[in-house]
Amino acid sequence: MTFKSTLKGTATGAALIFAVSGFHTALAQDGPPFGESGKAKAFPGIPEGTVEAMGGEAGINLWVKQLFHYILLDYRIAPIFIEHGNIERQIALNTQLVQRVLGAGNEYLGASMSAAHGDLGITMEEFNAVVEAAYNACDAVSFHYYQCNQIIAGLAPFTFDIVTQ
In tens, the pLDDT along 151-162 reads 999 999 999 999
DSSP string for residues in 25-73? HHHHHH--SB-TTS-B-PPTTPPTTHHHHTTHHHHHHHHHHHHHHHHHH
Confidence of residue 105 (pLDDT cuts 50, 70, 90): confident
Domain boundaries, the chain: 3-162
In CATH, which superfamily holds the domain spanning 3-162? Globins (1.10.490.10)
The pLDDT of residue 152 is 93
Q: Which one, of 60, 69, 53, lies nearest residue 98 by Cα? A: 60
The mean pLDDT value for 118-125 works out to 93
In this prediction, residues 28-40 reach a mean pLDDT of 42
**What rounded mean pLDDT belongs to the chain?**
80
User: What mean pLDDT is predicted for residues 46-60?
Assistant: 93
What is the per-residue pLDDT for 2? 47
Q: Count CA atoms within 13 Å of residue 54 on its CB side.
A: 33
pLDDT given for residue 94 in this prediction: 96
pLDDT over 90 (residue 63): yes
Instruction: Decide if pLDDT at 164 tops 70.
Output: yes
* pLDDT at residue 81 tops 60: yes
**pTM, whole model, 2 decimals?**
0.76
59-66 average pLDDT score = 98
92 vs 28, more confident: 92
